[in-house]
A and B are shown apart, each in its own frame.
Chain A
């Protein structure tokens, strides 16, 4: 799998290159600023890009903007955005084109190497990886509302994991239950939230996220 990395801190950039290479990714280019990121993405059209939000020259949200720009040019270009802090404002912008292939994680998550690599793969496959912090923010904000209040604690847990971008199989593994049980929870959640049911994992996740971001 071909990957482009954008990170301005050399230490972290080298770490990411080493980590992803060790798991069989081919790092086609690693850049350290916004304009080169945009160029690299359009030029290489990688299978996935791992991008830091804050990059030179402005040290604001240069990386995020470059990634969104590139996705306008290459629809569905998989991008995993990393940041020292996560904001619903940004996750909303990233997911607004609802075409999937989006990841948005705290940088800390890199420390859990296996999970991180899995998230990169998921995004590359057109899936979603949303940081648990963003998900819990989303749920807190909506927790007073009726349909969410109607969920059982178990269903809420499933909803959380689903919003993070996990497939039913992965949720089953994480919760130590059968996939069939998860499917049942999912059906209940979708019925309670009034969402159209879908067989496809990715589409299901996007529907949940669109609902939570609304």
Chain B
């Protein structure tokens, strides 16, 4: 039984080694057919930037470079277990032509990608291709030379030309060749891992980027903690001054009515009516409070129903389009809902708009929410506390907000919340 186990393991290891040789070949080829042309294209487009042509050429090349780099990151993880975190800055909400180029160029990771593209056409060939080269060259020594003693003017390895070494040459070729095959085969996984580590040094986030990220996270975390603490404090106060106080009064009224029901039934009835009214007010207060914490219809119907119900309560027609196949995690859903709600509240309060529209969709990596109106424009995300609150709320999820609101309108607010979706309920 034990033997079988060991047997299986050995076979598995051999399989991994075999795979590594194949991968090594693929990487060496890719470095020549993808990295090398891309590096040349990059140089050409950068050189042509002053002429303007480069500006048009650069974005597709940069996107291709990013695609290639991301493929290497995946392979490093899947093949060698080397995690290379994606170092790019989050994509801003607006992704128009010029903004896109600027976003790509401003990111230091883009420049490191470019450097990698050039370097990898060499490292891909020499380092990643090493296992394949060892195996292929070794095989040549093992197979070709011993069986072809006629090729005396040719040679292999140190035996050159073969004719001068005789039988020793043939044996030498076979021995050395098989050694090389074995080395290439066995060292394949380690060499590929070394290659992945080299790639990580160029494709991973730099220390500076990591530090920046840590700063970002610390900032948003403390903001989130502050906001939720303030929120809890507000809820506590609202409960204390509202429903709690009403329930005390209610209990008092009922207690009094209980005392009086025999001697003074009229007063008892009046007290009971007052008690009922107090209970109604307490319930209304609780309902408003609950709506502010987590709207029930959001819990019941998700983002789609929540936003639709919200727009129905507004004093203007709002077109709603939602295309989200599945549900986001509850905290994300809640942040998205409140972001849209705050924007719509702004439209009602400030925009002086005839109509508004909401478009929510998932682009594969993020929830994209667009709120627009035909009002007078001039919205400034830096000024309103509501908008700042939403920016903070979104930032807790690495979300972003972009406001386009020229004087005279229209206003379009685009918000993005990176998130995955769970499969839709059947």
Contacts and interface: CB of A to CB of B under 8 A. Distances in A.
B301 A61 contact: yes
A21 to B, nearest CB: 21
Given A60-B301, A84-B287, A89 B312 contact: yes
Interface of B: 276, 279-280, 283-284, 287, 290-291, 296-297, 299-301, 305, 308-309, 312-316
29 contacts: A53-B300, A54-B300, A59-B299, A60-B301, A61-B300, A61-B301, A85-B291, A85-B297, A87-B297, A88-B312, A89-B297, A89-B301, A89-B305, A89-B309, A90-B297, A90-B309, A92-B312, A106-B283, A107-B283, A108-B279, A111-B280, A112-B276, A137-B312, A137-B313, A140-B313, A141-B312, A141-B314, A141-B315, A144-B315
Given A88-B312, A89-B312, A106-B283, 9 more contacts: A54-B296, A61-B300, A84-B296, A85-B287, A85-B296, A85-B297, A88-B313, A89-B297, A108-B284
Contacts of B308: 89
A54 B300 CA distance: 8
Interface in A82-96: 84-85, 87-90, 92
A83 B405 CA distance: 40
B422 to A, nearest CB: 14
Contacts of B309: 87-90
Nearest to A141: B315
A87 B312 contact: yes
Contacts of B283: 106-108
A152 interface: no
Nearest to A143: B315
Contacts, number: 53
A146 B316 CA distance: 13
A61 B296 CA distance: 10
A69 to B, nearest CB: 16
Interface string A41-76: 000000000000110000111000000000000000
Interface string A141-158: 101100000000000000
A177 B300 CA distance: 42
Interface in A118-150: 137, 140-141, 143-144
A161 B276 CA distance: 22
Contacts of B297: 85, 87, 89-90
Given A108-B280, A112-B276, A140 B300 contact: no
Contacts of A137: 312-313
A102 to B, nearest CB: 17
Contacts of A107: 283
A70 to B, nearest CB: 19
Nearest to A91: B312
Nearest to A87: B309
Contacts of B299: 59-60
Nearest to A59: B299
A61 B295 CA distance: 13
Contacts of A144: 315-316
Contacts of B300: 53-54, 60-61
A54 B305 CA distance: 15
A85 B296 CA distance: 8
A54 B290 CA distance: 15
B313 to A, nearest CB: 6
B68 to A, nearest CB: 45
B279 A111 contact: yes
Nearest to A61: B300
B63 to A, nearest CB: 42
A140 B276 contact: no
